[in-house]
């Protein structure tokens, strides 16, 4: 296949500046990035170029009205010849769904996967090798017409940047703590909760800050109408092991359709668990804990991977799950999903997209 992209390589890599043994989440970026512009109703030819600043005009539409979407995906070091992308096809499908909701023109899978393969090959040395680390990939599109009227932009910029990362939460693969928020909601029916759009995250920062001041890692979001059905955590989806049933809040339109969430559900069914995607109220969870039926709670997400939950607080009541320790099922999901990602376990579901490399 002939390339659809122009490639401009760096002359000197910055990789020596990075301590691969001490990686934060999303603070340093690889040598190259992808860029593609949209104007006159069409996406132009994309470019791979040195990572660097982009010039913006103060009237840039996205700065004022937030018309922007993004994805979060990962690549994993297998060996000196192979790096695995994890489920790029479903990430791209979700990217396009977010675009549709935010009136942003969709992009083709062919360009997406070609850009990723070129970037991974050029920046293969940036994929960290240690278990628990990965190359985080951030595709994003923003409205870039320079005007102040509140209407859909006619032009867009599409970028893919990549960052070697360690664990998302300071806790690493250790239980995090969650609290419901008495005052705020993340998303409303008919709103943008299902889209991966910038404003959803901006709106969650104040309640998240309050939760952290109160000693919790994140907010456990409840629905906006009844303020009792559990939705998600904002940085991850959530799962409850009640008895032997794995209960996951259903995708109501205000919950992000997580790709790790989907992987957890597929694996749980394969392992013979009863899996229920349904409405689950915070009262049901507190009661299941009181009755001794709440065996485990854990989150799932690209950045968060599988994140055990050790404590949940709601309206002044607090429960501890599994003595605040890592649950067996969470650990099994973690080991299986990461085992598949690092190419150490059979990729039974065909989730990985291998990229051959020569470092
Ligand atoms: C991801 O899991 O990739 C996300 O986009 C969550 C983000 C808050 C880091």
Quick check: 191 pLDDT over 70? yes
- 65 in Cβ contact with 54 (< 8 Å): no
**Can you point out the beta strands (E) in the chain?**
5-7, 32-39, 42-43, 46-50, 68-70, 73-79, 82-86, 134-143, 156-165, 176-179, 218-219, 237-242, 245-249, 274-278, 294-301, 305-314, 317-320, 352-356
State the closest ligand 1 atom to the C-alpha of 304, by its place in the atom list counted from 1: 2
Identify the CATH number of the domain in which residue 152 sits: 3.30.470.10
Identify the CATH number of the domain in which residue 215 sits: 3.20.10.10
Quick check: 169 pLDDT over 90? no
Q: Are residues 10 and 143 in the same domain?
A: yes
pLDDT in tens, 129-142: 999 999 999 999 99
pLDDT in tens, 238-292: 999 999 999 999 999 999 999 999 999 999 999 999 999 999 999 999 999 999 9
Quick check: 32 pLDDT over 80? yes
pLDDT in tens, 282-315: 999 999 999 999 999 999 999 999 999 999 999 9
Q: Are residues 283 and 158 in the same domain?
A: no
**Mean of pLDDT values over 31-46:** 98
Q: Are residues 157 and 19 in the same domain?
A: yes
Q: Are residues 63 and 144 in the same domain?
A: yes
> What are the structure tokens assigned to 291, written together?
């009755």
How far apart, in whole angstroms, are the C-alpha atoms of residue 161 and residue 128?
16
Quick check: 52 pLDDT over 70? yes
Cα(first)–Cα(last) distance of the chain, in Å? Answer: 23
| Inside any domain, residue 343 | no
Closest protein CA for atom 5 of ligand 1:
72
Quick check: 319 pLDDT over 80? yes
Q: Are residues 55 and 14 in the same domain?
A: yes
pLDDT, residue 2, reads: 65
Mean pLDDT of the chain: 96
For residue 200, the CA-to-ligand 1 centroid distance in Å is 12
| Inside any domain, residue 149 | yes
For residue 258, the CA-to-ligand 1 centroid distance in Å is 10
pLDDT, residue 219, reads: 98
What is the percentage of the chain residues whose pLDDT exceeds 90? 95
**Mean of pLDDT values over 323-349:** 96
Q: Are residues 130 and 189 in the same domain?
A: no
For residue 202, the CA-to-ligand 1 centroid distance in Å is 13
pLDDT, residue 213, reads: 97
Q: How many domains does the chain have?
A: 2
Which of 168, 299, 341 maximizes ligand 1 atoms within 8 Å of its Cβ, making it the mutation to test the pocket? 168
State the closest ligand 1 atom to the C-alpha of 303, by its place in the atom list counted from 1: 2
State the closest ligand 1 atom to the C-alpha of 201, by its place in the atom list counted from 1: 8
Closest protein CA for atom 3 of ligand 1:
72
Q: Are residues 24 and 159 in the same domain?
A: yes
| Inside any domain, residue 289 | yes
| Inside any domain, residue 219 | yes
For residue 287, the CA-to-ligand 1 centroid distance in Å is 30
State the closest ligand 1 atom to the C-alpha of 136, by its place in the atom list counted from 1: 3
pLDDT in tens, 197-236: 999 999 999 999 999 999 999 999 999 999 999 999 989 9
State the closest ligand 1 atom to the C-alpha of 258, by its place in the atom list counted from 1: 2
Where in the sequence is the domain holding 51, given as residue range(s)?
Answer: 6-166+351-356
Closest protein CA for atom 6 of ligand 1:
235
pLDDT, residue 193, reads: 97
For residue 290, the CA-to-ligand 1 centroid distance in Å is 32
| Inside any domain, residue 336 | no
| Inside any domain, residue 281 | yes
| Inside any domain, residue 13 | yes
Q: Which residues line ligand 1 (CB under 6 A)?
A: 72, 235, 301-303
């Amino acid at each position: 296949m002939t390339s659809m992209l122009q490639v401009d390589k760096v002359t000197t890599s910055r990789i020596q500046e990075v301590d691969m043994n001490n990686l934060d989440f999303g603070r340093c970026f690889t040598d190259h990035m992808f860029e593609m512009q949209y104007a006159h109703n069409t996406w132009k030819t994309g470019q791979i170029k040195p990572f660097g600043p982009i010039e913006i005009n103060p009237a840039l539409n996205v700065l004022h009205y937030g018309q922007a979407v993004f994805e979060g995906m990962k690549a994993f070091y297998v060996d000196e010849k192979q790096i695995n992308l994890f489920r790029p096809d479903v990430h791209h499908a979700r990217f396009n769904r977010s675009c549709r909701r935010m009136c942003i023109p969709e992009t083709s899978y062919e360009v997406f996967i070609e850009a990723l393969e070129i970037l991974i090959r050029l920046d293969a040395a940036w994929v960290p090798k240690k278990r628990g680390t990965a190359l985080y990939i951030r595709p994003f599109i923003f409205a870039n017409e320079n005007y102040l009227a509140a209407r859909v932009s006619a032009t867009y910029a599409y970028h893919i940047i990549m960052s070697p990362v360690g664990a998302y939460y300071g806790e690493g693969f250790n239980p995090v703590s969650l609290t419901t928020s008495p005052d705020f909601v993340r998303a409303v029916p008919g709103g943008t909760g299902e889209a991966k759009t910038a404003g959803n995250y901006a709106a969650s920062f104040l309640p998240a800050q309050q939760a952290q001041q109160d000693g919790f890692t994140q907010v456990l979001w409840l629905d906006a109408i009844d303020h009792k059905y559990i939705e998600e955590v904002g940085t991850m989806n959530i799962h409850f092991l009640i008895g032997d049933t794995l209960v996951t809040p259903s995708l109501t339109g205000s919950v992000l359709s997580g790709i790790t969430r989907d992987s957890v559900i597929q694996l749980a069914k394969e392992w013979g668990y009863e899996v229920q995607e349904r409405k689950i109220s915070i009262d049901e969870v507190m009661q299941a804990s009181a009755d001794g039926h709440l065996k485990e709670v854990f989150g799932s997400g690209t950045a968060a991977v599988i994140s055990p939950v050790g404590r949940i607080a709601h309206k002044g009541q607090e429960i501890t799950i599994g003595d605040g320790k890592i649950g067996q099922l969470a650990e099994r999901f973690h080991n299986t999903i990461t085992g598949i990602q690092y190419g150490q376990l059979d990729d039974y579901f065909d989730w990985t997209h291998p990229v051959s490399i020569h470092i």
